[in-house]
Amino acid sequence: MLRMAVPRNYTLSNGIQMPSVGLGTYRVRDQATLDTCVLEALRAGYRLIDTATVYRNEAAIGNSLKRIFEQNLVPGLTRQDIFLTSKLAVTDSLRNLQVDYIDLYLIHWPGTARLKLPDPQNAINRMESWRALEDLYHAKKLRAIGVSNYTLAHLAQLVERPHNSHATHHPSIQGSTTAAAAAAPLARTMVIPHVHQFEMHPRLFQKQLVDYCQHHRIQVQAYSSLGESRLVSLTPPPPPAMDSNYNTAPLPGALDIMPGLIRKYFAHVTSTASQLSEEEEKEEYPRRAAQILLRWGLQHGAIVIPKSTHPERIRNNFDLFSFAIDAQDMAALDAYSVEGERTRYCWDSTKVC
């Protein structure tokens, strides 16, 4: 479903309000850098912060938020105003972030460490992990729960499972089981994921997956909206060194349609000439391209979580509500994602059983 008007918050299927734009923090670990990023983001209007145990920055983010609250650096702001998302080990995250609850917790990956991708045990572990997450949700340690990097098949397996299963505690999700979770009843209401976070940009628009989520009232959250910066840079950076599931092959970058879109939607700040000047390419292209790509995600009903360590870019990435992309240009951007030619810049879970 295409949205021309984009809300500042989405209402999840359980009634929880979730901001439509958040701050991504992947690969940002330095305390001083995070202090600046988090403060600038909150001052700019962000209220959603996305992290994960595996990012190794939860404790630093917790320190940043504690400092902001105690020193009233954003006047009147409290913990209740912030929507925190994390992934992997709940007990560790609660301790690292120095909070009593987390707003959204996700299963980060459909596979299991040290298991081969085709191993059928992945599917069994995935279901047990979800049941453990449900227990913590019912124990009110988590306000909402979801998944990340699931394919349509993985998600359908979870959503369409028989609703007669029982609680199974899974240590990879819970860390050390809380007393409240341990006391949860064995049989309880099954929870459909509230959120699914996956890579989404014009070169990887999985319409079937998006439609499935919307049909089941699962909120889509897009990561890598800027294609690991390759979609917003005329000289894209080399891919980062990551694990074996991360795509580090040479990949296409900037979209050839983008200069025209920048002139159309930002005519008041860019040249009206047929080509962007060299100076405009250097200064305007990255930030305006980022705004268009993020707005594209919002208009497809997705929450976006752009990451930057530059205060000006952080502010710029939140300025997404002053324009709308028309239906013709949305279709032109969608057309970059052609079956068999889609580009995945991050993790590929398609071979996980």
Binding residues for substrate: 108
212 labelled catalytic = no
Place of tokens 């989405």: 10
Query: Which segments of the chain are extended strands (E)?
Result: 9-11, 17-19, 22-24, 48-50, 83-87, 104-107, 145-148, 195-199, 219-223, 303-304
- C-alpha angle 344/350/353, rounded to 5°? 160
- C-alpha angle 152/94/129, rounded to 5°? 35
- Binding-site members are 108
The residue from 10, 26, 55, 285 that is catalytic is 55
Query: Which segments of 235-313 are extended strands (E)?
Result: 303-304
How far apart are the C-alpha atoms of 230 and 343, rounded to whole Å? Answer: 11
Residues 240-248: contacts with CB within 8 Å, 24+ apart?
240/27, 245/109, 245/111, 245/117, 245/347, 245/348, 245/349, 246/346, 246/347, 247/344, 247/345, 247/346, 247/347, 247/348
DSSP state of 223: E
How far apart are the C-alpha atoms of 313 and 318, rounded to whole Å? Answer: 9
Q: What are phi and psi of 156, to 5 degrees?
A: -65, -35
β-bridge pairing 17-19 and 9-11? antiparallel
Residues 6+ apart with CB under 8 A from 71: none
HSE, CB side, 13 Å, CA atoms: give it for residue 305.
24
- Smallest CA-to-CA distance from 15 within 197, 143, 107 is with 143
Residues marked active site are found at 55
